Chains A and B, each alone.
Chain A
């Protein structure tokens, strides 16, 4: 189990290798990578800045990770979230869920992302092409997605 908040980029293959290594009890590895979108229409961004609550963030991510391990038979998980200024196309979040079988890995990866989006204390501010900046509003669809896990 590992959680990390960092400004640096991450390498999905290297993180997967670090998590799995020579283990032979893992039959399924699901990785999810979130990336910064440029936006569309008249709402294109030049960059976004991620703020977080340093003393709480990793503790909350660990709580989310522990909850996933309590719900599914997981062998190993990694959660990495970047902070600071990011540009369109850059990686922002990584979730790896490893299990003996695929169903637990798929479901746990979705659960981890749903709860990272609705519980982990991160806030995005977008810098728009026209020079304005704006805090991103929380999406009701994200709350609904987290709510489906009961």
Chain B
């Protein structure tokens, strides 16, 4: 029995968006992508633009379903994952 495909909407903001060259995409996650950190590993293999965006891995922040999370956070049944630089509002 194979698990149902997990389609996740990915969003990119600020210089992460500029380096990747798009602001959003939908991907089907392999079953071994369990955490946010796994997702970054997987994205980095998709092309040099991802490697560029995540070169400073400890700097890039993530939100799962619109809530801030740490790299170790489980993706579970997440519908939307966003990657962005540390925020600079205010």
Contact = CB atoms under 8 A, between A and B. Distances in A.
A binds B: yes
Interface residues of A, number: 28
Interface stretch (A13-21, A37-45, A101-109, A113-121): A113-121
B15 A116 contact: no
A59 interface: yes
Given A55-B66, A56-B66, A59-B66, A135 B90 contact: no
Given A117-B88, A137-B86, 13 more contacts: A50-B89, A53-B84, A60-B68, A116-B89, A119-B87, A120-B90, A121-B13, A122-B89, A123-B84, A123-B89, A124-B88, A135-B15, A142-B90
Interface of A: 34, 50-53, 55-56, 59-60, 81, 92-93, 113, 116-125, 135-138, 142
Contact of A135 (B11, B67, B85, B89): B85
Interface string B7-20: 00001011100000
A113 B84 contact: no
Contacts, number: 71
Nearest to A61: B89
A74 B75 CA distance: 36
Interface of B: 11, 13-15, 63, 66-68, 80, 82, 84-90
Contact of A123 (B11, B68, B80, B87): B87
A68 to B, nearest CB: 15
Q: Is the interface of A mostly helix, strand, loop or mixed?
A: mixed
A93 B13 contact: no
A125 B87 contact: no
Contacts of A117: 87-90
Contacts of A137: 86, 88
